[in-house]
Chains A and B, each alone.
Chain A
Amino acid sequence: MPTTPDTAFEAVRATLLWAGLSTALVMIPGTLLAYLLARFEFRGKQVLSTLLSLPLVLPPTAVGYLLLRTFAQQGPLGRATLGIDLDILLTWKAVVIACAVMSLPLVVRTARVSFENVNPRYEMMARTLGYGPLHRLLAITLPLSTRGLLAAMILGFTRAMGEFGATVIVAGNIPGRTQTLSSAIFSAQQSGNEPQANFLLVIALGVGFTAVYLTESLSRPRKTARP
C-alpha cells in the first residue's frame, strides 16, 4: 500500500523496470516495421501503417478493454484457446504488454521518419555491391539513424512510464504487484489523499525529468573537430 515513502519508491522502481521491459519488447519489432514502411512498397502498406497508429488515436481505455478481451479465458489468446494459461491478466506482464502496445506507434513513427531521412542512394550503392536487404539495414541505414532511433526509444520509454488508461484495465491497480506510478497517483487522488498525491507527483516530476535528461544527454551529438 503506497501510504509510506517506502512503497512509493517501490512503485517508482517497478514502473521504471516495466517501462524498460516494454521498451525492450517494442524496439526490435518496432524498428523492423518502421524500416519496412520507410523502404518498401507493398500491398496493404497503408492499412498496416494505419493499424499501427491506432493505439495513438484510440482512447487508452478502449485499448485496455481490447487487450482484456484478447487475454480473457475465452479470448483469442486465453487459456481455452491456447490450451495453456499465459497468466497475463492482472499481473506485471499485463502492465508490460499494455505499455508496449501504447508506445509502439510512437516508436514506429519516429523510427520511420529517421529511416526516411537517410538518403536511399547509399543503400542503392550498397546494393550494386551485392548487399542484401538485411545487410543494407544493418550496415548502412541503422548506423546512420542512431539518433532518431534513440529518440524513438526515449519516446517509447516515457510513454510507457506514464501509461495509465490501458494498464489499469488489464493489470488492475494492485499496490505492490501491478501498481505503477500513474495508478498510485490516481488512487491517492481518488481517495482524496492530497499529501500522498502531491508526494507522488513530485516523485513523478523528478523521475521524468531525470529519465529524459539522462537519455537526452546521451544522445547529444558529440563535438567532433570538423575537417
Chain B
Amino acid sequence: MPTFQKMKRALIFTVLLGWILSGSACTSRASETVRPELLVFAAASLTDVLKEIGDLYQNQFEVDLEFNFNGSGVLTQQILASSKGDVFVSANQEWMDVIEQAGRVEAGARRELLSNRLVIIADAGSSWEMEAATDLCQLDFRFLALGNPEAVPAGRYAKQWLETLSCRDQGLWEAVADRVSPAPDVRAVVGQVEAAHGVLGIVYQTDYLAARDRIQRLYTVSPDQGPAIRYAVSRLTHTTHSQAAESWIEFLFSDAARTLFEKHGFLPLEDELPTQD
C-alpha cells in the first residue's frame, strides 16, 4: 500500500514536470520561425488598441509582433539598460527625449502618432455637474485622484492644465493641491474614483471610455485649452529588423490603424502636422 501511494505521488509529479518542461520546449521551438520577430515597447495606455492593430498587421505581413507594455518611464529605463526592443511608443515626448539623448533614437526620426484628451470623472452615482473647469473651485470633493505628476505622463498633463487656471484669488492647482491623491498610473485613478465616494479623477478620455459603465464624465478638456498630449513612436537604433520596424510604424499611420485608434477614443495625428516643440 505505501509503495502504491509513493508511486501515485511520483506519477503526479512526473506528469506535472513533463507538462511544465514540454511548455518550455514549445516556446523555444516557436522562436525559431523564419518570420522576423519585432519587439515593441509601448505605453500601458495603448495595451488594448495596439494588440488589435497588431493582430491586423500580423495577418497581412510576414512579421511576428511581441509587446512589452509598461509605464513609459519604466520602458525608458529598460531600453537604456539593455539593447532590447525594436520600436518604442511613448506616451509623451519627454521620455522619448531621454532615449534620443542616449543615442537610442535617431534625432528627428520620431513621429507623433496620437493625441488624447483629459477628462474629469466621478463615480457613477455622483450628482455633481460641471459647466466649466473652474467649477472645480466650488465642488466639495474629498480627493482629486490623478497620476503621480512626477512620473505618470497623464498626471503631468493634468497638473500642467490645472496650473493654467485660477479660482478667485489663487491658482486652481494651489486650491486643490492638498486634496490631490497621486496614483501610480491612470488605471489606478479610475479604480480610486470608482471605489470611494466623493473622489474626482482626471484621466485620459480613452481610460474613461474603457470604464464608462462604472464611472461618469463630468467635463472634457478641449484640445486647445489643455496641454498638447503627444504619443510618439520611433524605431530604436539598435534594432536588427529595420525594415520590419519601419513597416510596422508605417502601418500605425494607415487608415485601418487610425480607425481602431479612434474606436478606442484616441485622436490620430496627421503625419504632416509640424511638431510642437
Contacts and interface: CB of A to CB of B under 8 A. Distances in A.
Interface of A: 1, 3, 10, 13-14, 16-17, 20, 65, 68-69, 71-73, 75, 89-90, 168-169, 172-177, 187, 189-193, 214, 218
A16 B66 contact: no
Given A89-B84, A190-B44, A174 B39 contact: yes
Nearest to A91: B84
A191 B68 contact: no
Contacts of A169: 74, 77-78
Contact of B51 (A3, A168, A174): A3
Contacts of B85: 90
Given A14-B23, A169-B77, A175-B66, A189 B82 contact: no
B48 interface: yes
A214 B20 contact: no
B84 A192 contact: no
B137 to A, nearest CB: 31
B70 interface: yes
B81 interface: yes
Given A10-B23, A17-B20, A193-B48, A72 B66 contact: no
Interface of B: 9, 12, 16, 19-21, 23-24, 26-27, 30, 39, 44, 47-48, 51, 54, 66-70, 74, 77-78, 80-85, 185, 187, 190, 210-211
A157 B26 CA distance: 23
13 contacts: A10-B26, A14-B24, A68-B81, A71-B81, A73-B83, A89-B84, A172-B84, A173-B68, A176-B66, A190-B44, A190-B69, A191-B48, A192-B48
A20 B20 CA distance: 10
A69 B80 CA distance: 10
A14 B20 CA distance: 7
Contacts of B210: 191-192
A157 B210 CA distance: 36
